[in-house]
């Protein structure tokens, strides 16, 4: 293990180099462009055995990934925002065909208005497409998550595509200290890709992507339902094993000073780093503040969240995207649904759209307002000008 | 060209019992193209008639590996398969020589899949893309496409009291592919089967990206008796509505020069979709159509002469 200074993009590209996938099909888009650029240089310098397809759009990137994955090849891509949205049509095809494609996704606000900065609207927009979604708080987690994603996605119990996300610019372009494993260690860790079939096996021809009408479509969606359920156990096993091997265990979420908390927030991604500081400062003043940092959004660990928050009376859910559904953001609606049988007061803060900064003072104010949660609106917009 | 005796021993990519219309032209195209390959083929199809009629679960008519992804991405999908083949070959995980073929209708090729096709061709993948051009979105009920000829009646640009069907001339996709400077581009028709097979053989023998545009008479959308499909395909070539030619490394060769170019009206009058053109007040339009066909043919002759 070596300690390096790397940005989120650099470290995702580094993980890709070490995984050395058979095929990478990708198209540049801010702020994920560097992932593609750096990887293209690895290809140009002969550092990987990957067949790299510099496609003409993200739609073709995901289409080529699907095609490549039907051969049993290990396939990766990277994108962000509009690029991810351009892939939307093909994402549920990848999951329905049970193709464990790995995507490095850098969270960025969806247009419009056009914006290049972080929010989670792009990733949340495809939350129901049968992809596993793993969020990262920093570059180290991004690296660790990409490596684990290969093991999780390719597990025979899962066989579902998986996206690992960082937050645009906040993580993607921020240089941090990252512990990187040796190439050989990663090679052994990810192992050889196995596949139940290959379209290149001309002696055993398979038909992939058949027309499925009212008599079978529903039945063919059920394995995805089951695989997403089964992925829960696999994520826990892989996270625990990763901890044993490399000293950094992972679960669905991290509890930060949560066990005795009277006031808690639930958040995803880079905001959790800021929230730790706010919580520490509040704790110094004797306020029992805590956090549930959600790492895995798909599959959604509803029972475990409800259990972890069962003793917290006042909870604020921080959403870096809005559902425009007149009842709060996606994390809020799902956590609140998971907490349906509990008596906690749960309110929502939608924040940080289009990269609007969130700071320690604002998070402390959220905790302050949680003190009178009964008087707060159900859905609040944090850091927006009136 | 492989003789009929040889061809009859090749593997048929499609079983009987698929659900294409009686008299449909594309099963012929698929069979002729795939059987022209001496090596095994892996097939990708765009969403459309071909995919819908050959893969209704739990049945598949395909005896070759077959992948359908979506409507507009057959070329990109196949480019991924071809790339994976290269990577896995380098690693010694596959060893057989395989030919890669994508089929798309004109909707999935001229229109919604145009970008995907152009990208894959520009990147230079070793694959053959075959457009089965039946001049409209036939799978969903004869909607106009960029390949629909001027004057044709379709359900989204119908002939009516004040309009006479499609107002624009068709997009010349074959020439657009030539402009990609591919090693091999060809235009063929189901009616001239030997010409079609010979072109497919040539395409498979050429490394790099290849494109074939094959006219597929559609008895449903063009509205003619199902037994007439081959005759209709031949008529299209004999009238020069659909010239048969190939472009090898930029060099044009017309593979069928009708001894006597038949008037286009013979092609039009054989199909319901052009019926309204024969109203007395549309005589001018018929003249314009003939003029356009003549002009495109003359241009093609000039390109060949230049070569």
Q: How far is B142 from chain A (nearest CA, A)?
A: 20
Asked if B234 and B189 touch (Cβ cutoff 8 Å), the reply is yes
Residue B198 token pair: 């010979």
Identify the band that residue A224 occupies on the pLDDT scale cut at 50, 70 and 90. very high
Q: What mean pLDDT comes out for the span A231-254?
A: 98
In terms of DSSP bridges, do strands A75-80 and A102-107 run parallel, antiparallel, or are they unpaired? parallel
* Beta partners for residue A1, in sequence order: none
Q: Provide the pLDDT for residue B8.
A: 87
What is the second-level CATH architecture of the domain B4-306? 3-Layer(aba) Sandwich (3.40)
Q: Which of B41, B64, B80 sits opposite A68 (nearest CB)?
A: B80
Q: What mean pLDDT, rounded, does chain B reach?
A: 97
Query: Cβ contact (<8 Å) for B55 and A211?
Result: yes
Alpha-carbon dihedral sign for residues A93, A95, A96, A97? positive
For an interface test with A, the pick among B65, B66, B118, B180 (most A C-beta atoms closer than 10 Å) comes out as: B65
**With a CB-CB cutoff of 8 Å, which residues 249-308 of chain A face chain B?**
none
Residue A46 has pLDDT above 80, yes or no: yes
* Beta partners for residue A104, in sequence order: A78, A164
Backbone φ, ψ for residue B153 (5° rounding) = -85, 125
Q: Are A225 and A362 in a shared domain? A: no
A-chain CB neighbours of B104 within 8 Å are none
Q: What mean pLDDT comes out for the span A350-356?
A: 98
What does the domain layout of chain B look like in residue ranges?
4-306
Q: Which of A60, A67, A200 sits opposite B119 (nearest CB)?
A: A60
Domain boundary among A246, A272, A305: A246
Residue B80 has pLDDT above 80, yes or no: yes
CATH number of the domain that residue A113 is part of = 3.40.50.970
Residue B241's closest CA among B129, B163, B152, B128? B152
Report DSSP letters for B253-288, one per residue. EES---SSPPPHHHHHHTSGGGGGGGSGGGHHHHHH
A-chain CB neighbours of B91 within 8 Å are 22, 49
Residue A226 token pair: 């089951």
Q: How far is B53 from chain A (nearest CA, A)?
A: 9
Q: Provide the pLDDT for residue B307.
A: 76
Q: Provide the pLDDT for residue A201.
A: 97
Nearest CA in chain B to A23: B84
Query: Cβ contact (<8 Å) for A56 and B63?
Result: no
Asked if B78 and A67 touch (Cβ cutoff 8 Å), the reply is yes
Cα separation, B95 vs B118, in Å, equals 29
End-to-end CA distance of chain A: 49
Segment B237-264, tens digit of pLDDT: 999 999 999 999 999 999 999 999 999 9
Structural domain span for residue A138: 2-246
Residue A72 token pair: 């049993």
Q: What mean pLDDT comes out for the span B177-191?
A: 97
Q: Provide the pLDDT for residue A158.
A: 98
Segment B103-151, tens digit of pLDDT: 999 999 999 999 999 999 999 999 999 999 999 999 999 999 999 999 9
Query: Cβ contact (<8 Å) for B51 and A202?
Result: no
Query: Cβ contact (<8 Å) for B66 and A64?
Result: no
Q: Which residue's structure tokens are 């090849």? A: A73
Cα separation, B18 vs B13, in Å, equals 12
Q: How far is A352 from chain B (nearest CA, A)?
A: 35
Nearest CA in chain B to A22: B87
Residue A104 token pair: 């490095």
Cα separation, A138 vs A140, in Å, equals 6
ipTM of the complex: 0.97
Segment B88-105, tens digit of pLDDT: 999 999 999 999 999 999
Q: How far is A225 from chain B (nearest CA, A)?
A: 20
Cα separation, A92 vs B254, in Å, equals 45
Q: Are A96 and A219 in a shared domain? A: yes
Query: Cβ contact (<8 Å) for A200 and B94?
Result: yes
Asked if A345 and A313 touch (Cβ cutoff 8 Å), the reply is yes
For an interface test with B, the pick among A48, A90, A92, A205 (most B C-beta atoms closer than 10 Å) comes out as: A205
Residue A303 token pair: 């029972």
Question: Could you tell me the maximum CA-CA distance found in chain B, to the nearest angstrom?
Answer: 68
Asked if A64 and A90 touch (Cβ cutoff 8 Å), the reply is no
Residue A162 has pLDDT above 90, yes or no: yes
Domain boundary among A195, A221, A246: A246
User: Of B8 and A316, which is predicted with more confidence?
Assistant: A316
* Percent of chain A surpassing pLDDT 90: 99
B-chain CB neighbours of A48 within 8 Å are none
Q: How far is A184 from chain B (nearest CA, A)?
A: 17
Residue B4 has pLDDT above 90, yes or no: no
Q: Are A147 and A172 in a shared domain? A: yes
Q: What mean pLDDT comes out for the span A219-227?
A: 98
User: Of A343 and A164, which is predicted with more confidence?
Assistant: A164
User: Of B5 and A231, which is predicted with more confidence?
Assistant: A231
Q: Are A114 and A203 in a shared domain? A: yes
Query: Cβ contact (<8 Å) for B83 and A25?
Result: yes
The total number of structural domains in chain A stands at: 2
**A210 in reach of chain B (CB within 8 A):** yes
Q: Which residue's structure tokens are 């079978």? A: A216
**A63 in reach of chain B (CB within 8 A):** yes
Query: Cβ contact (<8 Å) for A51 and B84?
Result: yes
Q: What mean pLDDT, rounded, does chain A reach?
A: 97
B-chain CB neighbours of A198 within 8 Å are 94
Q: For residue A72, what are the CA distances in angstroms to A16, A284, B81?
A: 18, 54, 10
CA angle B215, B173, B251 (to 5 degrees): 95
Residue A38 has pLDDT above 90, yes or no: yes
Asked if A16 and A35 touch (Cβ cutoff 8 Å), the reply is yes
Q: Are A78 and A107 in a shared domain? A: yes
Query: Cβ contact (<8 Å) for B90 and A64?
Result: no
* Beta partners for residue B142, in sequence order: none
B-chain CB neighbours of A212 within 8 Å are 57
For B250, left (φ over 0), alpha (ψ -120 to 50), or beta?
left
* Percent of chain A surpassing pLDDT 70: 100
Q: What mean pLDDT comes out for the span B37-56?
A: 97
SS3 (DSSP) at B261: coil
B-chain CB neighbours of A89 within 8 Å are 70
Number of helices (H) and strands (E) in chain B: give both, helices first. Answer: 11, 8
A-chain CB neighbours of B72 within 8 Å are 59
Query: Cβ contact (<8 Å) for B76 and A64?
Result: yes
Asked if A171 and A164 touch (Cβ cutoff 8 Å), the reply is no
Query: Cβ contact (<8 Å) for A90 and B70?
Result: yes
Q: How far is A73 from chain B (nearest CA, A)?
A: 6
Q: Are A333 and A359 in a shared domain? A: yes
Residue A288 token pair: 């029992």
In terms of DSSP bridges, do strands A162-167 and A132-135 run parallel, antiparallel, or are they unpaired? parallel
Q: Are A183 and A266 in a shared domain? A: no
CATH number of the domain that residue A344 is part of = 3.40.50.920
Residue A79 has pLDDT above 90, yes or no: yes
């Amino acid at each position: 293990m070596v300690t390096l200074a790397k940005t989120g993009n650099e470290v995702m590209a580094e993980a890709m180099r070490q995984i050395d996938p058979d095929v990478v099909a990708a198209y540049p888009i801010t702020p994920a462009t560097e992932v593609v650029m750096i990887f293209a240089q690895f290809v140009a310098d002969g550092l990987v055995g990957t067949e790299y397809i510099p496609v003409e759009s993200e739609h073709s990137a995901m289409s080529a990934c699907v095609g490549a994955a039907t051969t049993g090849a290990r396939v990766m891509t990277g994108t962000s925002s509009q690029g991810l949205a351009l892939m939307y049509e093909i994402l549920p095809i990848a999951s329905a065909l049970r193709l464990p494609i790995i995507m490095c996704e850098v969270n960025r606000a969806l247009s419009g208005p056009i914006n290049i900065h972080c929010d989670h609207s792009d990733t949340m927009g495809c939350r129901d497409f049968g992809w596993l979604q793993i969020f990262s708080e920093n570059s180290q987690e991004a690296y660790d998550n990409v490596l684990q994603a290969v093991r999780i996605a390719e597990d025979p119990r899962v066989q579902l595509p998986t996206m690992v996300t960082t937050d645009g610019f906040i993580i993607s372009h921020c240089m941090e200290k990252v512990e990187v494993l040796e190439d050989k260690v990663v090679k052994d860790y990810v192992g050889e890709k196995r596949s139940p079939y290959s379209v290149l096996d001309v002696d055993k021809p398979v038909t992939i992507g058949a027309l499925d009408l009212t008599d079978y479509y529903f039945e063919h969606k059920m394995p995805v339902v089951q695989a997403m359920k089964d992925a829960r156990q696999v994520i826990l096993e892989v996270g625990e094993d990763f901890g044993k091997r490399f000293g950094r265990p992972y679960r669905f979420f991290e509890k930060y000073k949560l066990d005795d908390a009277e006031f808690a927030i639930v958040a995803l991604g880079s905001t959790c780093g800021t929230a730790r500081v706010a919580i520490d400062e509040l704790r110094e003043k004797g306020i029992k503040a805590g956090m549930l940092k959600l790492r895995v959004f798909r599959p959604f660990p509803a029972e475990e969240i409800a259990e972890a928050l069962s003793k917290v009376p006042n909870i604020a859910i921080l959403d870096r995207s809005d559902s425009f559904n007149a009842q709060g953001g996606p994390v809020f609606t799902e956590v609140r649904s998971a907490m349906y049988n509990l008596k906690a007061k749960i309110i929502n803060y939608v924040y940080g759209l289009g990269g609007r900064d969130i700071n320690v003072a604002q998070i402390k104010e959220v905790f302050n307002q949680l003190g009178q949660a009964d008087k707060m609106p159900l859905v609040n917009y944090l850091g927006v000008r009136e | 060209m492989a003789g009929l005796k040889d061809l009859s021993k090749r593997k048929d990519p499609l079983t009987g019992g698929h659900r294409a219309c009686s008299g449909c032209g594309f099963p012929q195209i698929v069979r002729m193209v795939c059987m022209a390959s001496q090596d095994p083929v892996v097939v990708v199809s765009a969403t459309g008639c071909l995919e819908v009629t050959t893969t209704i679960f739990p049945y598949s008519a395909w005896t070759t590996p077959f992948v359908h992804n979506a409507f507009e991405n057959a070329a990109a999908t196949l480019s991924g398969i071809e790339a994976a083949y290269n990577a896995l070959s380098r690693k010694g995980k596959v060893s057989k020589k395989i030919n890669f073929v994508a089929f798309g209708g004109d909707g999935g090729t001229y229109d919604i899949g145009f970008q995907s096709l152009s990208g894959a061709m520009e990147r230079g993948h070793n694959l053959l893309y075959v457009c089965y051009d039946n001049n409209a979105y036939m799978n969903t009920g004869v909607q106009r496409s960029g390949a629909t000829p001027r004057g044709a009646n379709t359900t989204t640009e119908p002939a009516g009291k004040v309009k006479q069907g499609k107002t624009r001339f068709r997009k010349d996709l074959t020439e657009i592919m030539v402009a990609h400077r591919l090693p091999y581009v060809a235009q063929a028709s189901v009616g001239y089967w030997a010409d079609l097979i010979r072109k497919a053989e040539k395409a498979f023998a050429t490394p790099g990206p290849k494109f074939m545009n094959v006219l597929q008479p559609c008895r449903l959308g063009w509205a003619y008796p199902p037994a007439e499909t081959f005759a209709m395909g031949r008529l299209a070539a004999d009238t020069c509505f659909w010239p048969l030619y190939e472009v090898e490394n930029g060099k044009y060769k017309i593979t069928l020069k009708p001894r006597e170019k038949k008037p286009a009206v013979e092609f039009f009058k054989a199909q319901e979709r052009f019926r309204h053109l024969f109203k007395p007040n549309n005589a001018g339009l018929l003249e314009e159509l003939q003029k356009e066909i003549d002009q495109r043919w003359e241009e093609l002759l000039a390109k060949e002469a230049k070569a």
